[in-house]
Structure 1
Amino acid sequence: VDNEEHSFEDWTIRYKSSHILPSKCTDQCENDELCSFCIYTKELHLPHLPEMVFPNNSLEIVHKSGCCIEFNALDALKLVKDENHSVKIACSESWRKARQDSGLVNKTIGDFDWTFKTNYIGSYKNWNSRELTDLTIDKNKLMQREKILLYRKLILFEDELHDNGTSFCSVRIRVMPSGFFILLRYFLRVDGVIISVNDARIYHEFINNYVIVESSQREGKIRDLQIPLAVMNDPDEVTSLIPLIDLKCEKLSLPT
């Protein structure tokens, strides 16, 4: 396990990176003493999990007042819907059959969101004020050259959709002398069918007493987008080319 802790202004940033979730319980868990595998199978109402889940990967940003923003795989997967999903293609059935013998299956596999799509924008604790706002993230300021004091990236979960595309959720943070910027991204590409990106951008300037959370949803049918394959495989390049479905900005105020 790789543990780090860094302090910047009034904030403490904790970063943890570790191995993937095992495919079965190895501790013969009983009662309240549960291993990571048993915690996930108990907490999540999904027929099975993504191929790669990183249960101990987490990013936590804590203000001296106690306000906290955390990112972890369990909370992200809790927002995956256990119901019929609109992406219906032939590979989904073969993909489900390929998982029947996997240790990650804990009940009969039926129709559910096999792309593990999540609208997770982070876990927010101890914030007294959180409201919709017309304030947006200053993209021009983010593009200004500043010294990077800290940069980290974590994968929370990932699945190759039985070799028919990719689905992953990741988070990355960049700390500059002026503030910090976080990008939480769920990315989905089902080859020949659909491409989707759910982003949460979290930005804070140390001179301000608030944090801006900008969440967006983008989705499009691949046949309608006419995007080159090389670009399609690069989430950073392709995101701006996907039609915007929804955009919301929130202002989280720190105690004065």
Structure 2
Amino acid sequence: MAQAHIASTYEAYPRADGAEHVARATRTHRQGRFEIATRKLPISKAEPIDAMERELGIPVPEMIFGENAVAVRHAPTGWAIEFTARDALAAVDKTGRDMLRVAYASEWSASREQTSAGIRDVVKPYDWSYSTTYRGTVHLGRPGPPPPAPSTPPQDEHENNGSGGRENGENQTSAPLFLIPPPPPPPPAATPVTAPAARQFAPTTRGIPIELLKRRDPILFFDEVMLYESELDDNGISILSAKVRVHERRMLLLCRLFMRLDGVVVRVRDTRIYVDFETEEVIREYTVKELAFEEVKRKLLMTGLTPDGVTIALRDANRIAELVPTIEQTLESVSLKS
């Protein structure tokens, strides 16, 4: 399987072995007119963490994989969507409006802020459970053929709502996503120019075809990538991860936030990206599930689990997702076929 490396607005911080190190950590797969890539590197070190905290204005989770990424790109147009830790944390509430409370939450939060390099003098309220509303970073792609020569960075067009799209959990950016040379363009007459504005997600009523995904079709590419994890100072857990599986005719990417604040609340926030390789349609489903912690424990006990079994089950995001009710869901799609 070919390897290449991803470049985004927040490309990996320099390392001793540079681009070669990033390339070795990146897996890519091409299916139809789409390219799928994942990048997995170790936990970020002190210098990039300090830089990220200065930029975001909040302490980052204890385990932050700042160079990891999962991405899907439509090769002919350059349209792409990627998932990164940095952009996910940019979508965490920093107003204090969504802060959750435990017995000593304020003391813990203040301590974290005072000991984080680069923001010692800035004490800001923020959602210390890291319950991001992130739905992915969207690159709208080229304005139309022909694409720039390989030696020239692509000049993607994009739109931004003034807050990086982060009010609704989406970032839109123009940075090149893959450093894979695009295929030669067809003759101009054969490919109409498509405005990037037409490549934005729009509301739809058609959901992801779950029955097709349940079929036992061969899996051509699979990977799972951790973006960040926090134990909330032993008050629970907050994990953001993404996994992708590719079949011959379709693929599914799941980016999941699983947050359990002991004694308070359990949350599951899922972003699913479904791609039909034949129709070149992309569907994005965003689902929010939430329930009080004690109610989740009660439901687990009702399944016949022992108290020890409940403790174990509370760490299982897949099991919890089946128990917790949906409180919000949005469906969007974009057609990339020309």
Normalising to structure 1: TM-score of the pair?
Answer: 0.88
Give the aligned partner of residue 105 of structure 2: 92
The 8 Å contact of residues 95 and 161 in structure 1, kept in 2 or not, is answered as: no
Structure 2 residue aligned with 1:125, among 133, 136, 139? 139
Q: How do residues 100-249 of structure 1 correspond to structure 2 at under 5 angstroms? A: 102-104=115-117, 106-107=119-120, 108-126=122-140, 128-129=198-199, 130-225=201-296, 226-228=298-300, 229=310, 230-249=312-331
Give the aligned partner of residue 154 of structure 2: none
The 8 Å contact of residues 99 and 105 in structure 1, kept in 2 or not, is answered as: no
The 8 Å contact of residues 184 and 199 in structure 1, kept in 2 or not, is answered as: yes
**In structure 2, what residue type is equivalent to 1:79?**
A
The 8 Å contact of residues 82 and 137 in structure 2, kept in 1 or not, is answered as: yes
**Deviation of the 1:93 alpha carbon:** 3.4
**Deviation of the 1:159 alpha carbon:** 0.3
**Deviation of the 1:187 alpha carbon:** 1.0
1:10 and 2:33 correspond: yes
Greater strand percent: which structure?
1
More divergent stretch after superposition (122-131 vs 58-67): 122-131
- Distance in 2, matches of 1:161 and 1:91, equals 12
Structure 1 residue aligned with 2:89, among 70, 77, 101? 77
Give the aligned partner of residue 67 of structure 1: 79
The 8 Å contact of residues 197 and 239 in structure 1, kept in 2 or not, is answered as: yes
Give the aligned partner of residue 32 of structure 1: none
More divergent stretch after superposition (108-117 vs 215-224): 108-117
- Distance in 2, matches of 1:102 and 1:19, equals 23
**Deviation of the 1:90 alpha carbon:** 1.3
Deviations 1:72-126 (A, max 9, x none): 1111000011122341111423533553564456234443211011110111111
Residues 6 and 233 of structure 1: CA distance in aligned 2, closer, same or farther (over 3 Å): same
Residues 172 and 104 of structure 1: CA distance in aligned 2, closer, same or farther (over 3 Å): farther
**In structure 2, what residue type is equivalent to 1:227?**
K
**In structure 1, what residue type is equivalent to 2:64?**
V
Flag structure 1 segments of 5+ consecutive residues without an equivalent. Answer: 26-35
The 8 Å contact of residues 289 and 328 in structure 2, kept in 1 or not, is answered as: yes
Residues 38 and 104 of structure 1: CA distance in aligned 2, closer, same or farther (over 3 Å): closer
The 8 Å contact of residues 91 and 162 in structure 1, kept in 2 or not, is answered as: no
Residues 43 and 240 of structure 1: CA distance in aligned 2, closer, same or farther (over 3 Å): same
**Deviation of the 1:168 alpha carbon:** 1.2
- Distance in 2, matches of 1:19 and 1:231, equals 27
**Matched-pair identity in %:** 29
**Deviation of the 1:41 alpha carbon:** 2.4
Superposed CA RMSD in Å reads: 1.8
The 8 Å contact of residues 131 and 251 in structure 1, kept in 2 or not, is answered as: yes
The 8 Å contact of residues 49 and 105 in structure 1, kept in 2 or not, is answered as: no
**In structure 2, what residue type is equivalent to 1:106?**
I
Flag structure 2 segments of 5+ consecutive residues without an equivalent. Answer: 1-21, 141-195, 301-309
Greater helix percent: which structure?
2
- Distance in 2, matches of 1:4 and 1:205, equals 21
1:253 and 2:264 correspond: no
**In structure 2, what residue type is equivalent to 1:194?**
V
Aligned residue pairs total 244
Residues 67 and 100 of structure 1: CA distance in aligned 2, closer, same or farther (over 3 Å): closer
- Distance in 1, matches of 2:101 and 2:118, equals 21
